[in-house]
């Protein structure tokens, strides 16, 4: 066989090369009845010996004895009932409202794939306590501390330390992004912002308490609703950010394509 001739094909414009020695899983799965999910997911497991076998018998008209290769068993399946905002997931602009930047808001399958693989940056705000706001100044100080300047399409991940309480009701005791801090990141060309908290804003009850005390509706979901003014996606329920360096690694966080949906489950990983 002759050796191939010619030069290797050059990478396509905008192509990224990823070299790594370690992968860190940044994701929470879909866990039936999880304490940290207000809308509880459920999973019906169809077993090899039960409904999987029944399906195979029905489909092929075969008896267990006929299923030589499987030892008389059928396949396993799972039937999942869960919202698209369960486990680690990506929120699409459509989640925030029907319009973003004065145009129809993108649903999850319409978001460009280029947004979801890029250089990762971890901003440490673990000094922020429950019901506090993560302000622009907090982000700026975190960047100064790691001597990093954001560039367009960086995937910024906010480390509050909340994931240490995953699986308990204390998980919901979190700080939250503000409208101003969200818009400030978007002004740097950021399209994807992740948090290791249940939600992007403060705890639901904390926002409700502020609203009932002040009557000011601007305290409700202020960070989410920034996406009506500026188009972006957010990742919620990240984990293991403390296992990452502040920068110098890649992140991939592609959401599942759910037709016309406001979000999609995501297996976010970091390549170190």
pLDDT at 4: 42
Residues 55 and 178 in one domain: no
Averaged pLDDT of the chain? 94
Residue 134 lies in a domain: yes
Asked whether 235 and 194 are in contact (CB, 8 A), the reply is yes
Residue 5 lies in a domain: no
First vs last Cα of the chain: how many Å apart?
Answer: 39
* Domain assignment of residue 148, given as a range: 23-29+84-271
Predicted TM-score (pTM) above 0.85 = yes
Determine the average pLDDT of the residues in 4-29. Answer: 72
pLDDT at 16: 72
* Strand intervals (E) in the chain: 23-25, 42-46, 77-81, 89-91, 99-100, 103-104, 117-124, 133-134, 155-159, 176-177, 192-195, 233-236, 249-252, 263-265, 269-271
Residues 46 and 109 in one domain: no
CA distances, 95 to each of 53, 90, 187, 193, 228 (Å) = 40, 10, 20, 14, 9
pLDDT at 9: 53
Residues 125 and 196 in one domain: yes
Residue 16 lies in a domain: no
How far apart CA 39 and CA 89 sit, in angstroms, is 14
Express each pLDDT in 167-217 by its tens digit. 999 999 999 999 999 999 999 999 999 999 999 999 999 999 999 999 999
Residues 225 and 260 in one domain: yes
Pairing state of beta strands 233-236 and 192-195? parallel
Look at the block and give the residue holding tokens 């290791």: 196
Q: How far is CA 199 from the centre of its chain?
A: 11
């Amino acid at each position: 066989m002759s050796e191939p001739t010619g030069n290797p094909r050059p990478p396509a414009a905008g192509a990224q090369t990823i070299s790594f020695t370690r992968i860190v899983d940044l994701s929470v799965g879909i866990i039936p009845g999880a304490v940290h999910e207000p809308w509880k997911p459920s999973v019906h497991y169809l077993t090899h010996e039960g409904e999987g076998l029944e399906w195979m018998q029905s489909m092929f008209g075969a008896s267990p004895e006929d299923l030589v290769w499987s030892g008389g068993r059928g396949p396993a399946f799972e039937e999942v009932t869960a919202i698209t905002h369960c486990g680690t997931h990506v929120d699409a602009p459509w989640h925030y409202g029907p319009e973003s930047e004065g145009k129809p808001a993108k649903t999850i399958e319409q978001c460009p794939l280029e947004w979801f693989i890029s250089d990762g940056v971890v901003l440490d705000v673990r000094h922020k306590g429950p019901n506090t706001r993560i302000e622009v100044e907090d982000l700026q100080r975190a960047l100064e501390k790691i001597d990093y300047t954001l560039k367009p399409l960086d995937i910024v991940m906010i480390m509050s330390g909340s994931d240490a309480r995953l699986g308990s009701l204390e998980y919901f005791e979190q700080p939250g992004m503000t409208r101003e801090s969200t818009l400030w990141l978007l002004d740097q060309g950021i399209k994807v912002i992740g948090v290791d908290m249940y939600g992007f804003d403060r705890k639901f009850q904390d926002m409700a308490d502020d609203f009932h005390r002040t009557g000011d509706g601007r305290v409700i979901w202020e960070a989410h609703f920034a996406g009506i003014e500026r188009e972006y996606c957010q990742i919620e329920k990240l984990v293991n950010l403390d296992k990452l360096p502040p920068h110098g690694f890649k992140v991939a966080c592609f959401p599942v394509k759910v037709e016309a949906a406001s979000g999609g489950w995501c297996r976010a990983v970091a390549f170190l």
